[in-house]
Chain A
Amino acid sequence: MGTPEKNPVGETAPAGDGRERRTDTLKKAWYRFSRNKLSVVGLAVVTLVVLLALLAPVVSPHPQHASAYTDFANSCAPPSAEFPLGADNMGRDILTRVIFSLRGALYMAVIVLAISVPVGSFLGIMAGYMKNSWVDYLIMRVTDVFLSVPALLLALAVASLLEPNLTNAMIAVTIMWWPWYARLVYGMASSCRNEYYVISAELIGAGRLHIIFREILPNCLAPVFTKMALDVGWVILIGATLSYVGLGEQPPTPSLGQMVADGARYMPEAWWMTIFPSLAIVVVILGFNFLGDGIGDMLARGENRHD
């Protein structure tokens, strides 16, 4: 990855009053973000997905199909004007169910990250600041233990031992997610801790809390934000995997993984039952990936990127 070069765009000190400077910073951030067209595509996709999820009852063609609804006359109806993406074996509109399942997927991603990011970052920063103390060893060895098994595997195990529902799926994934942030922030914090600004803060007698949260933490945030944007996609993926095996959201509430699993039984005749939910998963994950890359470009100043 090499040493990052200084980007003149990011480094020039803008003149003028505070507001001008702020719009200037925003403009530069947008420039760095939008240099890669894929990031803009990602932003558009993510905005669309969030809007669809929020407005699901309004925008979906048949909101009543998002629950236990049966209409056997339209069982496995192919895509048509009434059912843009076809209907499932119960005669329910696939498009409606895809839109509604975005809600659960996003909800899960938000809750999982809202818990695991602060917890992981806090443990990581503590361990990094107290490098080579018992706190460091304790926290980082526990982190290693959790990272020693593939996340999906332990999430599957935990979810299967609890009652299968969305809450327990979120608990299982959260348990697996915080160690990644602990390790990421640990790496940043333990290198920051020897920087001059930390040492000088220590010299003038700043308290530990001040050093950890005001001196070190702000310098660890950029990669954390980047990873968060990427991780929304990955949490949705792992959530879809859990619901695919029946350990996530329970029917009749729709979820993407469960729709793929149900549809697979009607392949290849009713291909729309599987293909469209699968496509939705791919599009959502790609969207968050592109967005995450864009945020990375925006926050990592001047680093040369090749893709």
Chain B
Amino acid sequence: MNLSDFILKRAVMSVIVLAGLSVVIFVVARIVPGDPARLALGSTASETALETFRTENHLLEPLPVQYAYWIGGVLQGNFGLSTGTKRPVAKDILEFLPATLEMALLAALMLIVFSIAIGALAARRRNSFIDGAVRVLSYIGIALPGFVVATLLLLLFGSLWPVIPVLGRLSPGLTPPQAITGFYTIDSLIRLNLPLFWNAFLHLLVPAAALCLGGLCQEARLVRSAMIENSGRDFLTAMRGYGVPERVLAGKYLLKPSLIPAVSCMGMDVAALMSNAFLIEVIFDWPGISRYGMTAMLAKDLNAISGVILIFGAIFVIVNIIVDIVVAWLDPRIRLGGA
């Protein structure tokens, strides 16, 4: 199987999965106790207003028909109105998603770079002090819930040692750069507004660190064990016999196969990043899609909840395809053997 067939197959599977997810969300949102019309219009709405709302939103039709209307709208980018913001959910998502993506991308970058660096360091200095410290810290990092890390970091940088700003995306008084990508850092760079870039970047650091810590610890451990396991393999002895320098040996022949388990796990972790962002954004007052989703959940804003979950599902599925491609590139056995 070549790479393009592999990608095509994964893409088709993903569409099926997303379709299934839409059914699940729809059913969950419809079986909740309570009248959706009442939830949307509030307890003071009159009976006629409720009746109109039900007819307009096809709530009197059988469930499969309702689903058809809903999914038809979703496919055209219409997720319905949010009862919280009184605006189309699609518009809200477009507005809030970049903030989350900006934070998650930085977190993913930190996760990948630091987990490989720390894991490789620990593996090369096996049983040294650094190795021991990495192992202990990685265990604690795994067991520390994201919200605890975030609370502690907020305490540290918010009141005890205020060297890095922690709340919001920009310091109060600064105007956000005109939206091009929606990423404050990139937008301010495009406008060559360096002070603004620096401010936005500093605001990103702590939430991103809080977000990636758990995954980072886990990946560092995986990289470490895979490198130690692979270090005794025959192909390395063979390469050493050919006189390949140790540096090349470590980077090219040892590191590459050792990344496979970590990379396959990273897909899950990047997804976990997005769901942990739910709490991190609330704690750091980060105006992203997760905070929006959290508010929607606590207010039972059905359209917003469905929209946010579908978007998250789509992101997760896309990340997993990318991870599969990277793994196939790292591991020729998967690519050539035909999964």
Contacts and interface: CB of A to CB of B under 8 A. Distances in A.
A161 B143 contact: no
Interface of A: 1-2, 141-142, 144-146, 148-154, 156-158, 160-163, 233, 237, 240-241, 244-246, 257, 260-261, 264, 267-268, 271, 274, 278, 281-283, 285-286, 289, 304, 306-307
Given A162-B33, A241-B147, A144 B298 contact: no
B143 A282 contact: yes
A110 to B, nearest CB: 20
Contacts of B145: 237, 240-241, 244, 257, 278, 281, 285
A241 B277 CA distance: 12
A160 B39 CA distance: 13
Contacts of A142: 20
Contacts of A151: 275
Given A163-B33, A306-B229, A144 B20 contact: yes
A150 B271 contact: yes
A142 B152 CA distance: 39
Given A150-B312, A157-B309, A1 B33 contact: no
Nearest to A290: B139
Q: Summarize A's interface: helix, strand, loop or mixed.
A: helix
A235 B24 CA distance: 22
A2 B20 contact: no
A209 B159 CA distance: 63
B148 interface: yes
Given A150-B274, A241-B147, A306 B225 contact: yes
Given A160-B297, A160-B300, A245-B294, A153 B278 contact: yes
Contacts, number: 136
B24 A146 contact: yes
A260 B143 contact: no
B140 interface: yes
15 contacts: A1-B261, A149-B312, A149-B313, A150-B274, A153-B309, A154-B309, A160-B300, A260-B151, A264-B155, A267-B154, A278-B144, A278-B152, A281-B143, A306-B228, A307-B135
A153 B18 CA distance: 15
B28 interface: yes
A153 B275 contact: yes
A153 B109 CA distance: 22
Interface in B203-242: 221, 224-225, 228-229
Contacts of B107: none
Contact of A282 (B144, B160, B298): B144
Interface of B: 13, 16-18, 20-21, 23-25, 28-29, 32-33, 135, 139-140, 142-148, 151-152, 154-155, 159-160, 221, 224-225, 228-229, 261, 271-272, 274-276, 278-279, 282, 294, 297-298, 300, 305, 309, 312-313, 316-317
A2 B278 contact: no
Given A154-B309, A161-B300, A286 B17 contact: no
B274 A289 contact: no
B33 A286 contact: no
Most B CB within 10 A of own CB, among A144, A233, A307? A307
Contact of A156 (B140, B229, B261, B297): B297
A257 B147 CA distance: 9
Nearest to A175: B28
Contacts of B20: 141-142, 144-145, 148
Contact of A149 (B21, B32, B152): B21
Most B CB within 10 A of own CB, among A146, A241, A286? A241
Contacts of A2: 229
B276 A152 contact: yes
B272 A150 contact: yes
B29 A161 contact: yes
Q: Which A-B residue pairs are the 10 nearest by beta carbons?
A: A150-B275, A145-B20, A160-B297, A285-B143, A161-B32, A153-B275, A152-B275, A278-B148, A286-B143, A148-B17
